[in-house]
Amino acid sequence: MDKSFGRIDAFPRERLARTPTPIDALPRLSEKLGGPEIHMKRDDCSGLAMGGNKARLLEFYFGQARKKKADTVLITGSVQSNYACMAAAAARRMGMACHIQLEERVPDVDAVYRTSGNVLLGKLFGATIHTYPDGEDEEGADNRLHEIAEDLRKKGASPYVIPLGPDNPPLGALGYVLAAREICRQIDDANLRIDETILTSGSGLTHIGLLFGLRALGRDMRVTGVCVRRPAAVQARRLIDLAGRLSDMLGLPPLVGAGDIHLTDAVLAPGYGQHNDDVLDAVRLIARTEGILVDPVYTGRLVAGMVRRLAGDDRPPDGLMMLHTGGLPILFAYQALIEETER
Ligand SMILES: Cc1ncc(COP(=O)(O)O)c(C=O)c1O
């Protein structure tokens, strides 16, 4: 048994993601941007609801929910949360009910934002929807979820809360620790040269999971996070803390140091989920060169962050891979913005 990932087998897991997801070459985008060779790991094809990274994260939360004999899962996120929507889909697949709490995180949104995209899909999955007024209060949002869970328990349900705040064990990151092995196998088998993976860094679970998994396998591939929630300095502290928690959970020595953390907040402005011209340009660029869809909140910021990185002095070496983490339903919630900025 390979012990690179320490005690990972002790954590119960429910299969939700269809893996391995493909790694595709993006020759037209690479040419358009003047090299290097760009690849994309297609976790938007993970097969749960409309796909995305959250399928891998949820495998470990649902593993624990099943172990605890839960019949209801609770989760919190922004109004257009992919995580909440995919959790609702996963709950249905496992015969459970789902409560999703939608937080006000984006100012000045329109009616379509509040009803389309993931909100619509959450309803389709029959999730019970709650609201929370503050999108920047992770602890408060988690506490509110626990209160709802308590009410449900009193009514005879067996609830399980998927927490958001960084003070909880980063169970979801284990999904990307495992994905590191999948990626290494794929690039080795296909003899690809990938020196760097670039991904969005929100809660940080995907970012730290992949980075930790790569280091556990002895790989020195650079992982660059494009900040979508908070400035790079704040996100870096969060990631270091999460890495320490992962080491403790898996019984492994510290594997990720400050030198391993690479972040850019170049396309974060003016804030989470808000209009940024570079991001909309990137959404169109990849649609029109490769026929690939990305969203304005997460993966559009990934492409925009990569374009900025290629344009800067600190150009990456040969062999860059974007991790497409999904988010497709959000595109529809931003219909007005996409139409207004059409050019
Ligand atoms: C489509 C998409 N990509 C990326 C992320 C960021 O992943 P993480 O929260 O693990 O940093 C999210 C998080 O909500 C997401 O929905």
What are the chain's domains?
6-52+170-340 (3.40.50.1100), 54-162 (3.40.50.1100)
Q: Which of 50-64, 114-128, 156-170, 304-318 has the lowest mean pLDDT?
A: 304-318
pLDDT at 27: 97
Answer whether 142's CB lies under 8 Å from 132's CB: no
Token pair 């009616």 in the structure block, residue: 111
pLDDT of residue 300: 98
Q: What is the pTM of this model?
A: 0.98
| Distance from the alpha carbon of residue 298 to the mean position of ligand 1, in angstroms | 7
Quick check: 204 and 239 in contact, CB under 8 A?
yes
Let me know: does 172 contact 57? Beta carbons within 8 Å.
Answer: yes
Which residue is closest in CA terms to ligand 1's atom 13? 202
Q: What does the mean pLDDT of the chain come to?
A: 96
Unique residue bearing structure tokens 């209009």 = 275
Mean predicted confidence (pLDDT) in 207-233: 98
Q: What is the pLDDT averaged over residues 128-135?
A: 94
Whether the CB-CB separation of 80 and 327 falls below 8 Å is answered with no
Going by pLDDT thresholds of 50, 70 and 90, the confidence category of residue 1 is low
pLDDT (mean) for 296-301: 98
pLDDT at 318: 81
CA of 209 to the centre of ligand 1 (A): 12
For residues 282 and 81, give the distance between their C-alpha atoms in angstroms, rounded to a whole number.
Answer: 21
Out of 30, 78, 81, 201, the active site residue is 81
What pLDDT sits at residue 38?
96
Cβ-contact 143, 48 below 8 angstroms = no
Task: Please tell me the distance from the alpha carbon of residue 17 to that of residue 73, in angstroms, as a whole number.
Answer: 18
| CA–CA gap between residue 309 and residue 282 (Å, rounded) | 13
- Kindly state the average pLDDT of the residues 250-272: 97
Question: Does the Cβ of 205 fall within 6 Å of ligand 1?
Answer: yes
Tell me what percent of the residues of the chain surpass a pLDDT of 90: 94
pLDDT band for position 233 (cuts 50, 70, 90): very high
Residue 201 has pLDDT above 60, yes or no: yes
Ligand 1 pocket, 316 CB below 6 A?
no
Rounded distance between C-alpha atoms, residue 328 and residue 52, angstroms: 8
Instruction: Output the pLDDT for position 2.
Output: 74
From the CA of 57, how far away is ligand 1's center (Å)? 10
Residue 317 confidence (pLDDT) above 80: no
